[in-house]
Structure 1
Amino acid sequence: MNQTIEPPQAEADSPWMSRAAPALQWFVLLAVSAALIGTLELAGVPAALLIGPMLGGIAMGVSGATARVPLPAFSVAQGIIGCLIASSVSADIFPLLYVHWPPIMGAVLATLAASSFLGWLISRWRILPGTTALWGSTPGAAAAMVLMAGAFGADQRLVAVMQYLRVIIISVSASLVASLWVDTTQMSRPDIVWFPVPDALGLTTTLGVAILGSQLGRLLRLPSPFFLGSMILGMLLHLGIGLDFDLPQWLLGMSYALIGWHIGLGFTRPVLHHAMRALPQMIGSIAALLIFCGALGWLMSRTLGIDPMTAYLATSPGAMETIAIIAAATHNVDMSFVMALQTARFLLVLLVGPPLARFFARTVAA
């Protein structure tokens, strides 16, 4: 009697990369990311060290890769970026915020209102359930929004898709705008020294602040604890006692790559399939928010007299860490102003997000 033996369905249907050894997955990820970084660098795109690994991670994630950035490495990477932001903040920004707080707070509130309205429309039209669209549309640290969404009954998978899709679209668009807006022929680009003479004390201090700040952020239960914890501690030390951080290019490059991989590898095939039906509406809402924030940036540039690129990045709807990396990689941008507005908006989201979610849940259910 002939008997047909069928292969296991799960094994046959599983993406090919999921069956590869972890070492092979990381080798392919490194190779793909290096090729993308080289291409973006040749094209003159800022933040290529972030966007290249991010795109490489997406390609691997949808191919079924199971590799993930270890949490300790990811926490230190965010801590290093927090130190980078802390070192760029000067006391000169506070008088500016004091003098111009009405337009700055107006821009923050307008961005929050626009994102909330778009989220309400998507929920009202039953494109996404409950408060999922609200948390997915809210600008801020993507990981923090995903975690907060779970506490309010939203579908974390769809929130993650919306948040990270916005991160990618805004990262690429902001980088392209930076490369097109800034006249690179009129500026002298310093030669990048990847491996300078090591400053053992400075490097140890920087790593110490990144690690200690990350752990303090977790103990204090801050949202996006690794980034915010190290940034707050770094700012206190930098502004309080004048501490300078040693941030060699190789350390920043590794941190950018780890963050990019973390974002990209989150795009697994099941998550994308789950959100595919709502993808056009998601992209439309992201585009609308991007245009709205771009108009706010233009208005702020005209009213405050700051350069257009600084205003554009300051009003760009996050994620905060990604905008920080792009701003750091773009010449002649006022990093302090960008991060002041981004941080103010993020903190406001943390304050009003929970009650706003409850209100929207009652409104949509009505």
Structure 2
Amino acid sequence: MHQRGTLAALPFTLRWLILIVLAGIASVTMSAIGLPGGQFIGPMLVAIALALSGISLTIPRPWFNLGQGAIGIMIAQAISFSVLATLADYWLAMLVLTFLTLLMSFPVGILNVRYGGMPGSTAAYGTTPGAASVMVAMAEDNGGDPRVVAAMQYVRVVCVVLTGAVAAHYLHNGSASAHASSHADELQTVHVVITLVLLLAGSAIGRRLLPGGALLGPVLLATPLHLAGWIDIDLPAPLVSVAYAVIGCYAGLRFDRETLLYVLRAIPLMIISSLLLILLCALSAAVMLHIMDTDYLSLYLASSPGGLDSMTIIAMDTHANVGIVASLQILRLFAVVFIGPWMATQIAKFAKPSASDG
């Protein structure tokens, strides 16, 4: 059944043990060397390596949903009245930045469709920025190959996360480092219980009502209560670390060997186009720096064509303006959900005539 010499031949429990131990070691190591988002990046890189070695594991979707819910709770904790005031003052600039990100993805998408050697709608959905899981689902509904779309989306996620971590290292906002530790000194049981209830309820409700609802649900549920002073959000540090690792492993394990071999010829172009889009978004963030009263790191992370969860993790680790990063990523998430199919249709028109899309 399993190929000789692959990790898939090992017992199921042992494979999980290998993943958990190596992801834990990577998380601790990355954090120890001070890499922004290290508790997310370390497990993701380990998961990629194990997936390509044939470990044949997938993170159950409910675990991933709860991991995203934990990030949503942390976003709610970071939102304050001063953040809301900034958003109110610069809502037009934020709309412009969202539009610029989507606009710049067009030529990059056309480049990938025209010269990537893949069917039109498959390549189009694979190059549409943000909302990776949503694009995979849309591709499956509209004749694209979801395996290839997933590979393209997550190759870009890896590029965005790694370049974002490097940029954050050099642009680090050296302000207060007591953000997480002030709560960890003395956990109040009632606050922890309330926080976990909001996480579970918000994630469950959000999944049924919203795109990306597992993350957005807790944000929408907990933020008003937090701003009103009715609750103190308190997530235990070990739970946060586990949430980071689950999200990282979920992305990393998608890189199965079969899929990557299928798109191997296009990977160089996928990486180049991902880096090009990241560069264009970085330039747009530099332009917006002269309009919005915030730091460049926050705008860079907010405009990066990665996932809401991964960019928020890096923003929190580097003390960037989480409110602005999360708000712009959420805004683009909804924009992609509503106009993504139209974008994919337009990009697909540039495919070579010989490409066929089942």
TM-score by length of 2: 0.90
- Of residues 164, 172, 195, the one that matches 1:182 is 172
Higher relative contact order (CA 8 A, sep 6+): 2
Q: Which residue of 2 aligns with 1:243?
A: 231
Structure 2 unaligned spans of 5+:
354-358
Bigger mean CA offset, 153-162 vs 83-92: 83-92
CA distance in 1: counterparts of 2:203 and 2:344, whole angstroms: 28
Q: Which residue of 1 aligns with 2:329?
A: 342
TM-superposition CA deviations, 1:73-114 (whole Å, max 9, x none): 222111111111122122333443343333322211111011
- Of residues 57, 66, 69, the one that matches 2:59 is 69
CA distance in 1: counterparts of 2:171 and 2:237, whole angstroms: 24
Q: Compute the displacement of 1:125 (Å).
A: 3.4
Q: Which residue of 1 aligns with 2:356?
A: none
CA distance in 1: counterparts of 2:5 and 2:37, whole angstroms: 30
Provide the secondary structure at the position in 2 that maps to 1:92.
helix
CA distance in 2: counterparts of 1:360 and 1:52, whole angstroms: 34
Bigger mean CA offset, 347-356 vs 38-47: 38-47
- The alignment-based identity, stated in percent, is 33
Question: Would the aligned equivalents of 1:152 and 1:357 in 2 still touch at CA under 8 Å?
Answer: no
Seen in structure 2, the aligned counterparts of structure 1 residues 254 and 196 have a Cα distance that, compared at 3 Å, is farther
In the alignment, is residue 155 of structure 1 matched against residue 155 of structure 2?
no
Question: Would the aligned equivalents of 1:140 and 1:346 in 2 still touch at CA under 8 Å?
Answer: yes
Question: Would the aligned equivalents of 1:80 and 1:206 in 2 still touch at CA under 8 Å?
Answer: no
Structure 1 unaligned spans of 5+:
1-9
Bigger mean CA offset, 24-33 vs 231-240: 231-240
Count of residues in Structure 1 that have an aligned counterpart in Structure 2: 352
- Counting only pairs closer than 5 Å after superposition, residues 1-366 of structure 1 correspond to structure 2 as 11=2, 13-14=3-4, 16-125=6-115, 127-182=117-172, 184=174, 187=175, 189-190=177-178, 192=181, 196-220=185-209, 222-239=210-227, 242-331=230-319, 333-362=320-349, 364=351
CA distance in 2: counterparts of 1:41 and 1:16, whole angstroms: 30
Seen in structure 2, the aligned counterparts of structure 1 residues 14 and 153 have a Cα distance that, compared at 3 Å, is farther
Q: Which has the larger radius of gyration?
A: 1
Q: Compute the displacement of 1:71 (Å).
A: 2.8
CA distance in 1: counterparts of 2:62 and 2:183, whole angstroms: 24
Q: Compute the displacement of 1:194 (Å).
A: 9.4
TM-superposition CA deviations, 1:273-303 (whole Å, max 9, x none): 1110100110011010010011111111233
CA distance in 1: counterparts of 2:322 and 2:116, whole angstroms: 40
Backbone CA RMSD of aligned residues: 2.3
TM-superposition CA deviations, 1:28-63 (whole Å, max 9, x none): 212322332233223310111111111111111111
CA distance in 2: counterparts of 1:126 and 1:295, whole angstroms: 25
Seen in structure 2, the aligned counterparts of structure 1 residues 213 and 188 have a Cα distance that, compared at 3 Å, is closer
TM-score by length of 1: 0.88
Q: Which residue of 2 aligns with 1:4?
A: none
Provide the secondary structure at the position in 1 that maps to 2:118.
coil
